[in-house]
Structure 1
Amino acid sequence: MLSKIVLVGALALQVQTVYSQCQAKGSVLFAHKPTVGKGLSAHVVYNGLKKPRGIKFDDLSNLLVVDVGVGVVALTSKNSTDCMGWERKVVLENGDLNHGIELDGTSLFVSTESEVLEYQYNASSLSVSSGNPRTVVKGMKKPEGGHYTRTLVIQPSPNSTIIPHIIISRGSDGNVEPAAADPATGTAQIRRFALHPSVPDGGYDWFQGQLLASGIRNAVGMTLDKKNKLWSVENSVDEVTWNGKDVHTDNPAEELNVVDLNNISGASYGYPNCYTAWDMSSFSGPSTGGQFTAGSDNASISDAFCSNTTNVVPPALNFEAHVAPLDIKFYGGIKGNETEFGITRDWTNDAFVSFHGSWNREPPAGYGVVRIPWSGDDSVPQAKSDSKTGYEYVVQAPDMNACPSGCIRPVGLEFDQLGRLFVSSDATGEVFVIEDGNSPDASWAISTGRPNISTRYLLSIALVSSWILL
């Protein structure tokens, strides 16, 4: 179902704007089908997106997706005569949006490399108010470039007397940025900013935000737990050496870090001077979880300095090097009679992390979604920080040799009200869902070989006329 298409030219037809488009259940297949864990199923709900990154459900169960180069699109589950599947609608056209997305009531927050913008959002009409958005934070882009995504998390107000905040992660300016050791540089940090009604005209400058953590190279994924702790997954450096030895294939580890928002210190998590070992066994280096330095202009920086928790906050858990974690979400469990869809109750309170995958490691690593068993009472991972087995894959590309070009590349994660886990894959332009293997939708995970319904519909329209306007 297409609610508006503009087709021009008698010989070479061009689709200029697609406002609404349906893809039927069972018509959409994985570009590169992953392996799925026991008791689970996975299938694509929508494909053909340009570059889907951050995702967020609104109050009416529409899945909002930052589609890079487009803006924000909404995916809505339909069960009607004109669409029995998932329908896509463009909510916001802004080609500068690149990753971050959050909702606070009717306020939709999105990010560019330099700014965080606020739009007034209507979930019923899947639209934003006309006029320019409000700038909430500005001044985050550096001339040199570097990491350009800005991840957003709303810290809600526990009561009417406390102002809610927006938390923003800003990555480093390049692979190794020596200047980031000084918090005054403003990069490789997480900051937070008070929201309504105190946002100044024109927005906050980045340095006006409260510093939550420094020395975090690129914390693309962030989420809050029930105890007001902020958990983030960090992408560590490439091409690292230790004592003059090239250890980069298996080091440093990617990190799971935590900031206690009940006791904010703005402490350093090590970057750019200190890193975490994943596997340095062949170099007689630190064991997994141990801290080391890759060298510094500061002579006082040593492995011993990095291992001192007064100087560096160590990670709560580590991941294999170069898997590129990009999001983290906690599973709230299944409620009522929703057991036929959601993943197992046994995983309630566990954390899930998307691994985008290495871009140049040999052999490749990542390309999947993992579960971290969680200790609900203590609000920490069950595994210790020196463990290599603190997580397990629930979905992963089956052949690492085909990656990155022939594999899923997970980015955003979001659970719906049925306990299903939705995942965006930017390189393949897909959004897929992970759910119980016996759910009513599980049959759609089977490859049917049928063509994409929206593609067939476009072709049929093109054959009928070169000027149709629907």
Structure 2
Amino acid sequence: MTGIQYIVMAIAALAPQAFAQTCATINPANPATFASGYSGRVVMNGLKTPRGFVFDCQGNILTAEQGGYGVRYIQLTDNGGTNVCVKSSKQLISDSSINHGIALTPDCKTLFVSSLTTVWSWTYDGTTGTVSNKKTVVQNMRNGGFHLSRTLLVPKANPDVLIIQRGSDGNLDSAAAKVETARSQLRIFKIADIQAAAVDYTKGEVLGMGLRNTVGVGEDPRGGIWSVDNGCDDMKRGGSDIHQENPCEELNYHGMINDTASAERGKDYGYPDCYAVWDPSIIPNGSGLKVGQNFVIDSPTAGNTDATCQAKMAPKLCFPSHTAPLDIKFNAKGDTAYVPFHGSWDRTSPDGYRLSKVAFDPVMGMPTAPSTSKTAAVNIMYNENLGGCPNKCFRPVNVAFGPNGQLFMTSDTTNEIWVIGGATYK
């Protein structure tokens, strides 16, 4: 080998290192601890209470900022793994009423965003980062002062429909027991119909009812629809306060989106009278109750009992009480679901404030753990000192997979977007 050839080869070997880009480190507002095999870094901070977010077909992030901003358009530089940083950022939609829900059709041409009362659509161009042709598509969803989020999902298995979540109007909303109130429900809307003319929320097909505040709604690779529900606060049974450890937060299954005859379609999951057990040992007159089994609380409507509650749909899994799961996303294999737990306020000892994974059987499409399990959610990112929560903790809200397979997460109280290493779409 000549001297010139050696120099050329040496330069070629060094070139990838010389030209590789490294994103600047952004120190997190509050440090996170990661399980073995996982890591993470802050991609962007300084946001205004980021909640729901999606990736468009060009790999840009669109996030709804609850802090009075609207929707932000974020272009990324992705160098692989967690080496991701912001290339540019701008306000896409200015509307202080936008608070959580956001969804794109799979072709990325139609964007849906929600407020407490309304869902709008826009024609979207991801290349230029612009929207046009604003329409009101679903309306009249106001609750008094409770549960303001309206989560949106356009299923990949049926991109012709939009699923919209609406929570309860109060901790115990007795009227939500009636389907016609259209509260504590998931409803399905045909996109072509609502694009032609706006409709009231009551006009949608009921996918599920009796769901107190199901902020997290996701789709598995088979087209199955899943949700995570936040149980009631200050629970009492037999006059005793059992709220510290009951009820559980629920993982519910709603059937295949294209199977209108599924056993779960349109069914009642129990709220406002029925809840699932987390700690049976402290429930008065609860002998024989098991984790995940439905039971009735004090002063039920329509004469409900434990027996009538157990005839309603039960969760597939339970999570610790008041941990507030707010999203669920599946990987491509369908063997793992990722669930962010926003964290408690109604417990003496804080709990939640973490990102967890749940194992699924990809063939059966169900969790591998039994419904009585208390260990199905495995933490991959968490706050080491829960005693400092919520003020000194990250609080995860939504998760989404980027175009290169990494998992991203919003944290609303710290105004950050994270990328999580080790959690991939594959």
Match of 1:258 in 2: 253
Match of 2:212 in 1: 217
Equivalent of 1:118, from 118, 121, 128? 121
Normalised by the size of structure 1, how large is the TM-score? 0.79
- Indicate the larger mover: 67-76 or 184-193: 67-76
Aligned counterparts, 1:177-196, within 5 A:
177-196=173-192
For the pair 1:35 / 2:59, whether they are aligned, the reply is: no
Deviation at 1:74, TM superposition (A): 1.9
Q: Give per-residue Cα distances to partners, 1:370-397, cap 9 Å, x unaligned.
A: 0001100000000111110111000011
Match of 1:167 in 2: 163
Q: Give per-residue Cα distances to partners, 1:10-47, cap 9 Å, x unaligned.
A: xxxxxxxxxxxxxx923311111111110111100000
Aligned counterparts, 1:53-452, within 5 A:
53-68=51-66, 69-78=68-77, 85-86=85-86, 87-104=88-105, 105=107, 106-129=109-132, 133-142=134-143, 144-156=144-156, 164-196=160-192, 198-199=193-194, 202-260=197-255, 261=257, 262=259, 263=261, 265-283=265-283, 285=286, 286-298=289-301, 300-308=303-311, 312-332=312-332, 349-436=335-422
Deviation at 1:173, TM superposition (A): 0.3
Q: Give per-residue Cα distances to partners, 1:206-228, cap 9 Å, x unaligned.
A: 11100111100011010112332
Distance, in Å, in 1 between the alignment partners of 2:27 and 2:384 is 16
Amino acid at match of 1:164: D
- Indicate the larger mover: 314-323 or 294-303: 294-303
Q: Which runs of 5+ in 2 are unaligned?
A: 1-21
Asked whether the 8 Å contact 2:233–2:346 carries over to 1, the reply is no
**Residues 233 and 297 (structure 1), Cα distance of their counterparts in 2 relative to 1, 3 Å cut:** closer
Distance, in Å, in 2 between the alignment partners of 1:389 and 1:369 is 14
SS at match of 1:395: strand
Amino acid at match of 2:152: L
Amino acid at match of 1:128: V
Structure 1's consecutive aligned runs of 4 or more residues displaced over 6 angstroms after TM superposition are none
Asked whether the 8 Å contact 1:237–1:252 carries over to 2, the reply is yes
Match of 1:461 in 2: none
Amino acid at match of 1:331: N
Distance, in Å, in 2 between the alignment partners of 1:280 and 1:241 is 13
Deviation at 1:240, TM superposition (A): 0.3
Distance, in Å, in 1 between the alignment partners of 2:384 and 2:97 is 34
Amino acid at match of 1:241: K
Asked whether the 8 Å contact 2:324–2:352 carries over to 1, the reply is yes
Deviation at 1:297, TM superposition (A): 4.5
Deviation at 1:280, TM superposition (A): 2.6
Deviation at 1:268, TM superposition (A): 0.5
CA RMSD of aligned residues (A): 1.9
Deviation at 1:267, TM superposition (A): 1.1
SS at match of 1:199: helix
Asked whether the 8 Å contact 1:156–1:165 carries over to 2, the reply is no
- Indicate the larger mover: 262-271 or 386-395: 262-271
Asked whether the 8 Å contact 1:74–1:126 carries over to 2, the reply is yes
SS at match of 2:266: coil
SS at match of 1:325: coil
SS at match of 1:150: coil
Match of 2:46 in 1: 48
Asked whether the 8 Å contact 1:156–1:164 carries over to 2, the reply is no
Deviation at 1:200, TM superposition (A): 6.2
Deviation at 1:436, TM superposition (A): 3.1
Distance, in Å, in 2 between the alignment partners of 1:152 and 1:436 is 27
**Residues 137 and 389 (structure 1), Cα distance of their counterparts in 2 relative to 1, 3 Å cut:** same
Deviation at 1:287, TM superposition (A): 2.2
Deviation at 1:201, TM superposition (A): 5.1
Deviation at 1:362, TM superposition (A): 1.4
Asked whether the 8 Å contact 2:273–2:300 carries over to 1, the reply is no
Deviation at 1:120, TM superposition (A): 1.0
SS at match of 1:327: coil
**Residues 102 and 283 (structure 1), Cα distance of their counterparts in 2 relative to 1, 3 Å cut:** closer
Distance, in Å, in 2 between the alignment partners of 1:179 and 1:381 is 32
Asked whether the 8 Å contact 2:167–2:211 carries over to 1, the reply is yes
Match of 2:13 in 1: none
SS at match of 2:271: coil
SS at match of 2:394: coil
Distance, in Å, in 2 between the alignment partners of 1:201 and 1:85 is 39
- Indicate the larger mover: 296-305 or 312-321: 296-305
Deviation at 1:299, TM superposition (A): 6.2
Amino acid at match of 1:243: G
SS at match of 1:405: coil
**Residues 27 and 226 (structure 1), Cα distance of their counterparts in 2 relative to 1, 3 Å cut:** closer
- Structure number with greater CO (CA < 8 Å, separation at least 6) is 1
Asked whether the 8 Å contact 2:210–2:270 carries over to 1, the reply is yes
Match of 2:4 in 1: none
Amino acid at match of 1:436: G
Deviation at 1:202, TM superposition (A): 4.5
Deviation at 1:71, TM superposition (A): 0.9
